[in-house]
Structure 1
Amino acid sequence: MLQLFFTAAFSAVPLTLYVPPIRSLSLFVETIEDMLRQTTLYTLRVYPRIRLGFSRIFHSIFRLSR
């Protein structure tokens, strides 16, 4: 049982190198939230234009194939 504990403990140690400290994590989360907030405004404005452009392209392709 002790061998199993040490095996699990030493296999999990390298994983701690990939997890940032909590004080860095809060700044990271704040930056991601700000970026998502800015891109959401841009996406909501651009999405209808992209959708209209694709619908015009597909309509013209289907019209030419008849």
Structure 2
Amino acid sequence: MLQLFFAVAFSAVPLTLYIPPVRSLNLFVETLEILLRQTSAYTLRAYPRVRYACSRLVSSFRRLSLRRH
């Protein structure tokens, strides 16, 4: 059991190199918040257009399927 503990412990040590320090996470989170704020304005404008395009596609597929029968 002790060997298993050491095997797991030493295999997890390299993974700690990929985890950034806490002081770097603040900058990362702030950058994500800025990115989300900037993209939300675009998605709110684009959403009605996407819905309209999807509804047009669905209606054209429906018309095609009705013509076949």
TM-score by length of 1: 0.77
Give the equivalent residue in structure 1 for 2:41: 41
Give the equivalent residue in structure 2 for 1:30: 30
SS in 1 for 2:15: helix
- Structure 1 segments of 4+ aligned residues over 6 angstroms from their partners: none
Matches within 5 A, 1:1-66: 3-65=3-65, 66=67
Deviations 1:21-61 (A, max 9, x none): 11111101110111111112211211111110111122122
RMSD between superposed Cα atoms in Å: 1.8
User: Percent of aligned positions with the same letter in both sequences?
Assistant: 70
SS in 2 for 1:19: coil
**Structure 1, unaligned stretches of length 5 or more?**
none
